[in-house]
Structure 1
Amino acid sequence: MGQARETMDRITEAILAGDRDALRREYADDAVGEAPDADRLDGGDAIVEYLISFRQAFPDLSWEARATFENADSALDEGLLVGTHTGTLSSPEGDLPPTGRSLRLRECDVITVRDGRAVSHRFYYDRMDLADQLGLTASGTAVPAPRAGTDQEPETVIP
């Protein structure tokens, strides 16, 4: 396991634990983040605040890994964020009060690491799927059930 994978794993653990200090240690001061619901996140502090606000909105947040990838300086995690929206979700568009709805959101993270700290963190997920699952769209569909075969171990790819 390389430095990028270890950093990604520590970031995931810190997010799930809601540990702001541990999370902050994983990002360089000049780190840059990108997310579907936020423009550029400049600096480690901005990335940490983004992640902690999501964790506060979903206090029971868990992660179901589907695939991981690593190369010399980058790591990728693909999977599902699972939780219940019982806290306020802060976003650039404003605060969303708790809906009490369950979430099972497909998501992908990509980090690039330099000197043992993340310098780039890109988040990918479908904003409409998030809004739909929280009941914020006309369709307001229920949380999708796991697909057949999800009891398989996550795929790990290391070139």
Structure 2
Amino acid sequence: MGNAREVMDQFTEALTGTGDSKARTIAECFASDALAVTPDQGEIRGRENIVEYLLELVEAVPDATFESEYKHEAGNTAIDEGFLSGTNTGPVVLPSGETLPATGKEVRLRGCDTATVEDGQIVSYRLYFDQMDFLGQLGLLPDLPS
């Protein structure tokens, strides 16, 4: 197992773990000038902004667990594909900055993330998940005419 895999596993454990040090542990995984690309917020630059985004996700589904389907490592990049599951008991932050109240509904989302690591920290992070699937599982999409 290489350094990229170790950092990715540490990051995933921090993101889905509990405890008061979650924000600090997540932040330690990222370089100060890291870049993240997400399906809902686009490009996010800088450790502080990335951590803020990730903590909003965690707050929306605080009991989240990650079930890995595939783990890969190639050079300085680690890739995870799997399912994030949990209950929406916190507010959902929309790209506009608006928040929606918790629905109390359970979600199970397939996603994939990649982390490129240099000097023991993530410098580039990419997260992929289906936003429509997420909103649909929360019951937040309008009913479509049949």
Matches within 5 A, 1:29-108: 29-93=32-96, 94-108=98-112
Moved over 6 A (4+): none
Amino acid at match of 1:28: A
Which whole-Å deviations, capped at 9, do the CAs of 1:22-61 have from their partners, x for residues lacking one? 1100100000001010021101111111111111111111
- Report the TM-score, using the length of structure 1 for normalisation: 0.85
Instruction: Return the alpha-carbon distance in structure 2 between the equivalents of residues 139 and 20 of structure 1.
Output: 37
Instruction: Return the alpha-carbon distance in structure 1 between the equivalents of residues 43 and 109 of structure 2.
Output: 22
- Report the TM-score, using the length of structure 2 for normalisation: 0.92
Identical-pair percentage: 43
Instruction: Return the alpha-carbon distance in structure 2 between the equivalents of residues 22 and 72 of structure 1.
Output: 24
Cα drift, residue 138 of structure 1: 3.2
**RMSD of aligned Cα (Å):** 1.3
Amino acid at match of 1:67: Y
Cα drift, residue 139 of structure 1: 4.8
Partner of 2:15: 15
Partner of 1:154: none
Runs of at least 5 residues in structure 1 that lack an aligned partner in the other structure: 141-159
SS in 1 for 2:11: helix
Amino acid at match of 1:10: Q
Partner of 1:152: none
SS in 2 for 1:55: helix
Partner of 1:109: 113
